[in-house]
A and B are shown apart, each in its own frame.
Chain A
Amino acid sequence: MGMRSMLFLLLVFTVLVTPAKNRAYASDGMSILKAQCASCHDMQGPAPATLAALWQRKGPDLFYAGNKYRQAWVERWLQSPKRIRPSGMFYRDHIRPGEKRDVVDVATLNEHIRLNADDAKSVAVALATMKANSSLVSAEKHDPNLSPGPLGEMLFDKIYGCMACHQIEPGFGGLSGPEVYTAGKRLKPEFMLSYIRSPQAWDPKIWMPNKHVPDMNMQKIVNYIMDLSKEDWDAGK
């Protein structure tokens, strides 16, 4: 058999086998999600519409995970999970009054389960298929060229005050929202744009306000967040 026909056969094989393999991963992933994840994560939706429901939530909603997370990040993170929300899922459950200010009560925080490489891949494939709110992300177009340059931090901190609740590097920034210095690796840019445009469209009762950021500045903030993620924050630890 010549080189060319071997390559052709390989191509045919790949085209035929890959979707089937992906389906197998997805179905394994769904079983794992149902068995191990559903007690803390909502995989059906809708998001909490009352405070009582909001307070019950134990982990991020996953019914739009495919529109929110980068699949490669999910696969990596599940094998070596590291806290993203410094004060847990609902910050109020994990703080207490301190001497100078309220502080995180670290003893109340739970660790996330860790998966082996195969299971992590299956779950990542399954989560990528969960795509509620697709119209919200398809309405956004990310422009990677609108770089804020050195003004990114000024936008994030001084002009829109996002840093009040979000950390822009380990140990610097607010604690009631998820850290943003890893968000560029974790989240799809269209999701970030859409979420900044209207947090309530995704999660009606979330404690992040709509700051009415104009389109151009939303792009710059997202590109600033992507820039933050280029640094290896775990290096030297």
Chain B
Amino acid sequence: MPANRFYTSLFATLLICLSSPAEARESARDNYNTYCIQCHGMQGNGMGLNIRDMSVQPRDHTDAKSMGGRSDAELFKVIKEGGFAINKSILMPPWGATFSDNEINDLVQYLRSLCKCKHGG
């Protein structure tokens, strides 16, 4: 029935809206410059404010060689679930409660612009 279908899609839309942790979709640049730079640095080079006493140093996001070794899917996973999820340091925390999946996808693209690189080269 059309009415039923209407309510089903309305419900689905609502569910999608409500499942996103952040109300508004912030730009990747703004998110990076609020959350990531505390460790990865104002210039994205891994030289953040917090690194002096860290046992594992944060990734240099401008390093095309190391960033090119990661697929977009891996970058998505490490942002959402943390370093542990890809067998890297727990010092990289999971940001799944902070960013929506859309925001994480945007961040992955932003990282590609910082390293000027793609997966595998």
| Residues of B close to A50: CB separation below 8 A | 23-24, 26
Docked complex: B14-36 residues within 8 A CB-CB of A: 21-24, 26, 30-31, 33-35
A96 to B26, CA, bound (A): 24
Check: B71 CB closer than 8 A to any chain A CB. no
| Residues of B close to A164: CB separation below 8 A | 39, 50, 54, 91
**Contact yes or no, A174 B53, CB < 8 A:** yes
Q: Which of B2-10, B40-48, B110-118 contacts A (4 or more CB under 8 A)?
A: B40-48
Docked complex: B34-73 residues within 8 A CB-CB of A: 34-35, 37-39, 41-43, 47-55
Are A209 and B38 CB-contacts (below 8 A) given A102-B49, A103-B49?
no
| Residues of A close to B33: CB separation below 8 A | 92
Closest B residue to A168 using CB positions: B53
| Residues of B close to A207: CB separation below 8 A | 34-35, 38
A100 to B53, CA, bound (A): 13
Are A211 and B42 CB-contacts (below 8 A) given A50-B24, A97-B47?
no
**Contact yes or no, B98 A209, CB < 8 A:** yes
| Residues of B close to A79: CB separation below 8 A | none
A204 to B90, CA, bound (A): 22
**Contact yes or no, A165 B38, CB < 8 A:** yes
Q: Per-position contact with B for A156-178: 1 when CB-CB < 8 Å, else 0?
A: 01111101110000001111100
**Contact yes or no, A159 B51, CB < 8 A:** no
| Residues of B close to A204: CB separation below 8 A | 21-23
A95 to B43, CA, bound (A): 12
Closest B residue to A160 using CB positions: B90
A101 to B94, CA, bound (A): 23
Check: A130 CB closer than 8 A to any chain B CB. no
| Residues of B close to A54: CB separation below 8 A | 34
Closest B residue to A173 using CB positions: B53
A173 to B24, CA, bound (A): 32
Check: B76 CB closer than 8 A to any chain A CB. no
| Residues of B close to A51: CB separation below 8 A | 26, 30-31, 34
Count of chain A to chain B residue pairs whose CB atoms are closer than 8 Å in the complex: 98
A103 to B52, CA, bound (A): 10
CB distance from A73 to the nearest CB of B (A): 26
**Contact yes or no, A95 B55, CB < 8 A:** no
**Contact yes or no, B47 A212, CB < 8 A:** no
Check: B97 CB closer than 8 A to any chain A CB. yes
Q: Which of B21, B41, B93, B98 contacts A101 (CB 8 A)?
A: B41
Are A92 and B94 CB-contacts (below 8 A) given A97-B43, A101-B47?
no
**Contact yes or no, A161 B91, CB < 8 A:** yes
CB distance from A55 to the nearest CB of B (A): 8
Are A101 and B97 CB-contacts (below 8 A) given A92-B34, A92-B37?
no
Interface residues of A (CB under 8 A from B): 49-51, 54-55, 87, 91-92, 95-98, 100-104, 157-161, 163-165, 172-176, 198-200, 204-205, 207, 209-212
Knowing that A174-B53, A200-B21 touch, tell me 18 more A-B residue pairs with CB under 8 angstroms: A50-B24, A92-B33, A95-B42, A96-B42, A101-B41, A101-B51, A102-B41, A102-B48, A103-B49, A161-B90, A173-B53, A176-B49, A198-B97, A200-B98, A209-B93, A210-B98, A211-B82, A212-B94
Can you name 14 A-B residue pairings with CB atoms under 8 Å?
A: A51-B26, A54-B34, A97-B42, A98-B47, A103-B49, A164-B39, A164-B50, A165-B38, A176-B50, A199-B97, A200-B97, A207-B34, A209-B97, A210-B97
